[in-house]
Each structure stands twice: as structure tokens, then as C-alpha cells.
Amino acid sequence: MRFRIGWLFVLPLVLLLFGCGSSGDEEAAGGSSDGGSTVEAPAGAEGEFETDFSEHDVSYEEISSGGPPKDGIPAIDEPEFVGVDEAGEWLAPEEPVILVESGGEARAYPLQVITWHEIVNDRIGGRPVTVTFCPLCNTAIAFEGELDGRELDFGTTGRLRFSNLIMYDRQTESWWQQATGEAIAGELTGTELETIPAPIVSWEDFRSSHPEGKVLSRETGYNKNYGENPYAGYDDVDSSPFMYDGPRTPGELPPMARVITVDAEEPVAYPYVILKEARAVNDSVGEEPVTVLWQRGTASALDKSEIDAGRDVGSAAVYYRELDGDTLTFRSKNGDIVDEQTGSEWNVLGEAVAGELRGESLEQVQSIDHFWFSWAAFRPDTRVYES
């Protein structure tokens, strides 16, 4: 492993106190349900959870107990929000935020806050929404907070599978894999949460496109060092994922490479290293023509000790290319993203900002940012886009 010096010495303590880190040393107490042995529970979970651990569809040997106990990383259950002007007093233009829109409302969840909590249980546009972020996988996902008519809210288990956050719902205490939204243990095993688009964009992009939007406040009721990155140096592409104990990452793409993924019948991953050069990629997922747009100006939340000092990794999002019955083709021209049909200029939010189509918007495709190792562990059949 080629971690930076600060990262190598600080991370184990950070994960113990703050993060979703894993000790990686504890074995599961029982065998898997298809192995014929007595089913018990992940190590240390009995007495801590009321989960029906006899129901599960993954091997408990794949689950590691981290330093934090159940809810040791506290979810935000009563989020407060401030306006764009107030948030601008403590958010730098390039800082990353998670953008979620629902019911005509737009909200920003700054990574400088959610990194310390990993889960925000919220209501947007009148419906329950859970916004999540796993720092070890660089994965931001928003989930519908209702399943089959039942409203759910979530907390952290303090456990990992393939370095990815495992959540639990407080209604049944079933365990959920954050990367896939699937229940992997407990009463709801085999069910899956619906996702809502939640791209990571810069604060400047959110502020300029949603001047009336709301921003998750730093007044959370917890004493955290918001603005600091407890995972400094983690996203070095030449390093290895922390204490990852999962399938070998396929292909030539480095395990820590940033990708944006679409989970379709044929899953697809678009590497940021390609997007940075192309700015716009035209592809098809299934039979649907899509475009992946990339824009500079978003800092990494996992680089420097101060989030606003992180290197520029840009941001990306995926959209359907059809607009009013026409299929558009996008490319980079003089540093801008334009469509070949009209020459209109577009931004990473899928908005035409200049030209004939100004004011038009593309329909967003559900897509999620990951480090490649994490997505490949859950979707090994993924097609990696090559230019």
C-alpha cells in the first residue's frame, strides 16, 4: 500500500472514533443459511440488535465489525436547513455537496457535514427520504424512505461488507447494503429500496442553479469538526482501499479509480479519467441513448485535511439524450459542453445555459459515484466504458 504518511498513521484511529471503518479481524459467529450449519449472527451483533439474523442472503463471514458500535456514527434524524446566503458564509465554491430534488424542492447536503454522520433521515416535498454517504467508497445515495407502504428510517450498524456501509432500519432492524440498497439480513431480506438521483456537485453549481434551495445546517446537535476531512489522503488512486477484504477487483482500472455507474440490466461504469478528457460521452445503456457529462470545479472530500482544499476532481452525471423526440449528441468545444445538433451549451446539471435550447433540461438517469473496487465487488459483470 502506498498511503500518504498522515493517512497511514491517523486512519485507524479515525475509523475507530468517527468512520465506518473495519477491524477486519472478527469472524462471523455462524454459517450462512445455505451452508447447513447453525445460523447465528455476525460477531458481536447478538444483544446489540433485535434483527432476525436467521434470515440473510449473504455470508456473515463477509461482514466485519468496525470500531463504532450500533449508532456510534450518529445519523441526523431531525435535520435543520438554512438558505443559500447563510450557507455561503461557510461553504467554499468548490466544496462538494449532494444534490437531491423531490416534489419541487432542491436540497444540498454538504459532505463536510454528512461525512461525519453518513445518514440523514429527512422529508423532501412531503415524502420520506434517506440521504447516505459512505466515505470509504465515495458513494452518495438517496433512498425512498417508504417500502411497501411502510415508512422507514435508518441508522448505522458500525459494520462493513467489502468496505461499504451497512445500515439498519429502525422499524425491523433489518441490515441494508448501502451500495446496492438491498436488505441482506433480517425480516426484510431480499427487498430493495428505491433510489433517487443524488449527484455530488460543487456548492457553486448548486447555488447558481437553485438560489431558493435549502442547505443542511451545521447545527446538528453534535460537536463535530465540520469542514475537516477525517480521511485525509484516502482517495489517492495509487493506494489501496482500507482493509478491503473482498473479491479481486477486475480489469486494469485501479481499485481507487473514481467511476460513475448506471445499474441497468448490463451495469456500466464510466471512469472519471476518461470523462475528464472527453467532458461529454455518448453511449447507450440497454437500448436507451445516454450522455455522461463532466464538469471541473468540485473538490475531493477525501484528499486534504480541509475539504475546501481538496484537489479538483470535477463532478459527473448521466442523462437521457432524447429531447422532444430528437436524439442529441454531445461533445466538448473550447472547454464547453455543446450538442452537435444546435450548438447549445450545457452544464453538468443537464441544463442548456446558452444557445437555441437555453432553458431546456435533460432527464437524469439514476447514476451513482463510487470507487471502482466497491462497485465491482457488488456488480462484477459491469461493463467499463472505454473511449
Please write the tens of the pLDDT for every residue from 63-84. Answer: 997 778 999 999 999 999 999 9
Q: Comparing 39-53, 224-238, 339-353, which segment has the lowest mean pLDDT? A: 39-53
Nearest to 317 by CA among 272, 379, 264, 277: 272
Determine the average pLDDT of the residues in 248-275: 96
Q: Would you state the pLDDT for residue 6?
A: 39
Q: At 360, phi and psi to the nearest 5?
A: -80, 155
User: Would you say residue 36 has pLDDT above 80?
Assistant: no
DSSP state of 244: -
Determine the average pLDDT of the residues in 381-387: 94
For residue 188, with 0-12 CB atoms within 10 Å meaning exposed, 13-18 middle and 19 or more buried, which class applies?
buried
What is the CA 147 to chain-centroid distance, rounded? Answer: 20
Q: Would you state the pLDDT for residue 39?
A: 54
Q: Which residues, 6 or more positions from 18, have their beta carbon under 8 angstroms from its beta carbon?
A: 68, 73, 116, 230
Determine the average pLDDT of the residues in 307-332: 97
Confidence label for 18 from pLDDT (cuts 50, 70 and 90)? very low
Residue-range domain boundaries for the chain: 258-384
Mean pLDDT of the chain: 90
Q: Would you state the pLDDT for residue 13?
A: 40
Q: Would you state the pLDDT for residue 272?
A: 98
pTM: 0.91
Q: Would you state the pLDDT for residue 27?
A: 39
Please write the tens of the pLDDT for every residue from 87-139. Answer: 999 999 999 999 999 888 999 999 999 999 999 999 998 899 999 999 999 99
Please write the tens of the pLDDT for every residue from 157-178. Answer: 999 999 999 999 999 999 999 9
Q: What percent of the chain has pLDDT over 70?
A: 90
Q: Would you state the pLDDT for residue 44?
A: 87
Rounded CA-CA distance 41/43 in Å is: 6
> DSSP 3-state assignment of 182?
strand
Q: Would you state the pLDDT for residue 3?
A: 30
Rounded CA-CA distance 122/34 in Å is: 37
245 vs 202: which has the higher pLDDT: 202
C-alpha cell at 57: 442472503
Q: Would you state the pLDDT for residue 32?
A: 40
Q: Would you state the pLDDT for residue 38?
A: 52
Q: Would you state the pLDDT for residue 367?
A: 97
Q: Would you state the pLDDT for residue 196?
A: 95
Determine the average pLDDT of the residues in 317-339: 97
Rounded CA-CA distance 371/273 in Å is: 12
User: Would you say residue 15 has pLDDT above 70?
Assistant: no
